[in-house]
Chains A and B, each alone.
Chain A
Amino acid sequence: MDPKPLIARSASRVAELADPLRNYYSDLKIFGSLDGAPTCVTTFSRVSCLVPGREPIDLYATGNLYLFRVDRPGPGQLREPDEHAFRITSRETGFILDPTTFEPLEGLENPVTGQWQETAGIVFEDEWIYTPSGGYSAARPDYFYDKRPDALTRARPHYVLGDDLVTLREAIFHDQGPHQPRGNTLLWRARLAEVLDTGRAAVEASYDWHGTAFAWERAWLGFPTGHPARLVFHAMGRKVLSLERAAPLVTRLVRRYFPERLEV
């Protein structure tokens, strides 16, 4: 039996989400909440280091808390009027953990230089304007996250896998430079029926984030610039609708070290 015709027909189910607006609002429900309530994602990752000539090293792990709020843009934040525009405020707080026990690490030994490198908290804030045709940084409106001319048609592919909807999004850094090749992929998986339910403002979803970059780009690791060692990131987590349902190991650390970062 040739599976191609059935696979092709299956693929047409993606058409259910091919409508740009439906697709757009589905995405917003997956990573945030359309009613303006904060949502959170907790993730655990393992970071492997590929040093030429050696086996991969499980270098460290991370535990991260992402808080998101989806609401309307503030005055002057829109490049042009768009009734479907939203502002996404995100706050990331993370910790470097032991790759085996997932306990916090104060430092680790650089596998190339042998030097002890102290860890630091992972702290990021961001604010984006999100529109059906793409998005841009609220602070730098000329900064699009996808500069390709066909970004609109390329953005937000979806795959219907049984009862689930998988959204695939790659973050490719297109600028040339010594950091290339660098890239990552974010995969969300949620219940399709819940995503399409217009009565829901938000859905829970699983979160998988995978990527690779040169190790020297993480300055705290202490690799000489241009060193060929590469990191491979493997993160798994879940988006939930309240902080109480987030991973306690991560929220406990945030509460202890950055209590002011439990709100967005």
Chain B
Amino acid sequence: MDRRTFLLGLGLAATRPAAVSVAEAAGGRNRIDLRALLALVGAPFGETAWTQSIAHVLELTPGRAPRVLMAELAVVQCRVRPATHAELARANLPASPAYQVETRGIAMPLEARTHRPLERFVNEETGRVAEPSARRWASSVLVTDDSWASLDEPSPAPRPRAAAQVAVGGDEWYVFFSAPRSTGVDTAVHPGTMDSTGWRLRPAELGQARVGAGYNHVSLTSVDERPWLGHAPGSPVRLLENATGYKVFEREALAPAAAALLESDR
């Protein structure tokens, strides 16, 4: 998990034009509106939610069988509240219902099998030993029904928000978002990369103060995003990252390792 995959879970695709409407799921005209989505990724206004996940990362080198590279533990804290007039003005957003979503995340490479911290890494392509490092990020965005704006990377105009695709699986629903991969709001997309973020929810919880959520994502990323791997810039090697996890509403409910990771980021 990183800033990109988490924000994508709100439909905040950096480069893709938005779909024009929220998808209607088969079997009924079910839709996930913005408030429901915010409840899914966050907590009641003023409270914090934490999403912890474990990822499995495969390295894909052209013409070769994949190899297991590492695991990655990630935790993201998320706070949501109504946006202020000053924020709306700063982001050039209309005064429709708008919300500020603040996230802070950290991800730590782990050994793929033991899940202990990855202390050293041998790049099989170059033979060089690399020292793994954690990824940290923070972001603040404003979101409306159909648009969004980054407070960290302001742009002249709001961006369209992508629609969620909702698959209705009885008493569990699945929300999908996919987009090209980029590392920032306006940064270039690496060829042959993409993100797909998913949330699972229980529809019976929609409308409640706290809505539980399962999180997962798959992404095909460039190794350029992890310079510590030691590949030459522009390498055709790609990483297939697969993550699963879930959200909690109390810090004490985090897995000990996730809590330690979060604590290290203070």
**Residues of A at under 8 Å CB distance from B?**
1-4, 6-11, 14, 42, 44, 46, 48, 50, 52-53, 55-56, 58, 61, 63, 97, 99-103, 154, 157, 159-164, 166, 168, 170, 172-176, 180-183, 185, 187, 189, 206, 208, 210-212, 230, 232-234, 236-238, 245-250
Contacts and interface: CB of A to CB of B under 8 A. Distances in A.
Q: Which 6 residue pairs across A and B have the least CB separation, nearest first?
A: A6-B260, A210-B218, A10-B257, A44-B167, A247-B169, A183-B66
A159 B115 contact: yes
Interface in B102-161: 108, 110, 112-117
Looking at A2, A175, A247, the one whose CB has the most chain B CB atoms below 10 A away is A247
A99 B165 contact: yes
Interface string B64-77: 11111001010000
B8 to A, nearest CB: 12
Contacts, number: 222
Given A101-B25, A247-B170, A189 B214 contact: yes
Interface of B is mostly: strand
B240 A210 contact: yes
Contacts of B255: 10, 160-162
13 contacts: A3-B117, A7-B108, A10-B256, A55-B189, A159-B115, A181-B61, A181-B62, A183-B65, A211-B218, A232-B218, A234-B196, A248-B170, A250-B169
Contacts of A8: 116-117
Contacts of A159: 54, 71, 115
For the side of the interface on B, what is the size category?
35 or more
A174 B65 contact: yes
B68 A187 contact: no
Contacts of B216: 187, 208, 210, 236
B249 interface: no
B92 to A, nearest CB: 26
Contacts of B217: 234
Given A210-B242, A212-B220, A237 B196 contact: no
A233 B220 CA distance: 11
Interface in B243-266: 243-246, 248, 253-261, 263-264, 266
Given A3-B260, A159-B54, A11 B115 contact: yes
B2 to A, nearest CB: 16
Contact of B170 (A10, A61, A233, A245): A245
B176 interface: yes
A99 B27 CA distance: 15
Nearest to A163: B253
Nearest to B246: A164
Given A58-B178, A159-B54, A249-B169, A3 B261 contact: yes
B192 interface: yes
B184 interface: no
B165 to A, nearest CB: 5
Given A7-B110, A185-B58, 8 more contacts: A3-B260, A3-B261, A7-B73, A10-B255, A161-B53, A162-B254, A162-B255, A183-B65
